[in-house]
Amino acid sequence: MTCKQLGGACDMEFEANTFEKMANLSKQHAMEMYHKGDQPHLDAMHEMQKLLQNPKKMQHWMLNKQQEFDALPEK
């Protein structure tokens, strides 16, 4: 999945065997971009923060991303 697919701002691709590992890779990348002060990623993080304020919306978003991950072909 790409950074954008996971709520980020770029086309960097992440590969993992589980959604949890995929999410962790995305978080690590987000922190790197945060420390670099990358504005598009900072903007994406701001949008994710809004989503986190509504547990039902966040749960729905996570479920959708899990389903999107599950539908990917295995490599």
Report how far residue 61's alpha carbon sits from residue 52's, in angstroms, rounded to the nearest whole number.
10
Tens digits of residue pLDDT in 13-40? 999 999 999 999 999 999 999 999 999 9
Domain residue extents for the chain: 4-70
Residue 41: CB atoms within 10 A of its CB come to 20
At 74, the pLDDT band (50, 70, 90 cuts) reads confident
Q: What pTM did the predictor assign?
A: 0.88
Tens digits of residue pLDDT in 51-69? 999 999 999 999 999 999 9
